[in-house]
Amino acid sequence: GAVVSQHPSWVICKSGTSVKIECRSLDFQATTMFWYRQFPKQSLMLMATSNEGSKATYEQGVEKDKFLINHASLTLSTLTVTSAHPEDSSFYICSATGTGRLEAFFGQGTRLTVV
């Protein structure tokens, strides 16, 4: 399968600061990337869908000003959690797919802890 790399694997930040998470497709052109949030022992909750070169489409209830998504190239998308608060602590996962692909491939996830 295709390789998607997510960085960092874990991050601890102070309340009020911003954190950037990167998602890279290493061996294919990711025309579409997805960002998910996952709480312990629960499934993935889609936050937003981003197409390369376009503004991200956010799911209902997700604050676009708080979770900034950039997909400026076919191999990189970033999620920036702005003015992070403890309730933003979670496991964030990206996935990527490309033209002609049925499946999406996932990054390893990022454990964000806001203290």
Check binding of 25 to other proteins (CB under 8 A).
no
Q: Which of 3, 12, 46, 72 binds other proteins (CB under 8 A)?
A: 46
Considering the rule CB under 8 A, would residue 43 count as an interface residue with other proteins?
yes
- Does 62 contact other proteins by CB under 8 A? no
Which of the ranges 13-21, 63-71, 72-80, 99-107 carries the binding residues for other proteins, by CB under 8 A? 99-107
| Cβ(20)–Cβ(82) below 8 Å | no
Q: How far is C-alpha 44 from the geometric centre of its chain's CA atoms? A: 12
CA atoms of 40 and 26, how far apart (whole Å): 28
| Residue matched to tokens 């061996």 | 27
One-letter amino acid of 41: K
Size of the site for other proteins (CB under 8 A): 26
**Contact between 95 and other proteins per CB under 8 A:** yes
Residue 113 has which token pair?
A: 């802890």
* Residue in 55, 30, 39, 8 with CA at minimum distance from that of residue 105: 30
Round to whole Å and give the CA distance between 34 and 79. 10
Binding residue for other proteins (CB under 8 A) from 6, 25, 75, 78?
Answer: 6
Q: Is 61 in the site for other proteins (CB under 8 A)?
A: no
Give the interface with other proteins as residue ranges (CB under 8 A).
1, 4, 6, 31-32, 34, 41-44, 46, 49, 91, 93, 95, 97, 101-109, 111
